[in-house]
Amino acid sequence: MNIINLLIKYKHYYLVGVKITLLLSFLSLIFGTTLGSLLSLLKLSKYKIPKALSTVYIEVVRGTPMMVQIALVYFGSYVMIGMDISGFAAALIAVSLNSAAYVAEIIRSGIQSIDKGQMEASRSLGISERQTMRYIILPQAVKNILPALGNEFVTLIKETSVASTIGVADLMYASKIVQSNSFQPFNPLIIVAGIYFLFTFTLSQLIGVFERSLSHND
């Protein structure tokens, strides 16, 4: 059975896999960006304890494999909260926590890329530090980090493939089912690789257009 016939025959599994993969990636980006924003502000804080906690979290998460993190959340949920959680919920939590560490560094670098003189000038005009951060620094930083956040979304789409290890019905899980039903170990993986490439290539091109648009606006 060739690849086209295989895709047509088992399209239902792949469609479900696409849906789960995109949903997991999108939700993880939202939660990861929210938590990452908080972590970045804590890391930039002048208070030592919040800054230290944020730094430790970021370094630990970035220094351990995603697969280990998902396994810890999935199998450790009963130990931590006394109840089992679904594979999708475990994957969502783990991927969101992982993404938050990288987003925190993206946002931190974006904030630090803004000239410090703007903070000093606004303070000399009587604007509080919080107002300066909210109305002057962050709007400029967001413009700088949006392309990087887009790239993070592209990365998330690929990294969610490890969720199949705990039974989440994503694209990789779909390929395993098709491999089992069709007795073909290779072609189902080619199909999945093609779908992942289609998503990531399309998103990368859209990000490139967006970056050029920002440059033009500048």
Q: Which pLDDT belongs to residue 148?
A: 86
Instruction: Locate 180 and state its tokens.
Output: 């089992």
Domain span at residue 61 reads 3-217
Q: State how far the Cα of 209 lies from the Cα of 218, in Å rounded to an integer.
A: 14
Q: Total domain count for the chain?
A: 1
CATH of residue 138's domain is 1.10.3720.10
The average pLDDT across 149-159 equals: 89
Instruction: Locate 24 and state its tokens.
Output: 């997991």
b/e for 80-104, b at 16 or more Cβ within 10 A?
Answer: eeeeebebbebbbbbbbbbbbbbbb
Alpha helices of the chain — where are they, by DSSP H?
Answer: 3-9, 11-43, 48-62, 66-81, 87-112, 116-124, 129-132, 138-159, 171-182, 187-217
Question: Mean pLDDT over all residues of the chain?
Answer: 88
Lowest mean pLDDT among 46-55, 79-88, 130-139: 130-139
Q: Give the tens place of pLDDT for each residue, 163-212.
A: 999 989 899 999 999 999 998 989 999 999 999 999 999 998 988 887 77
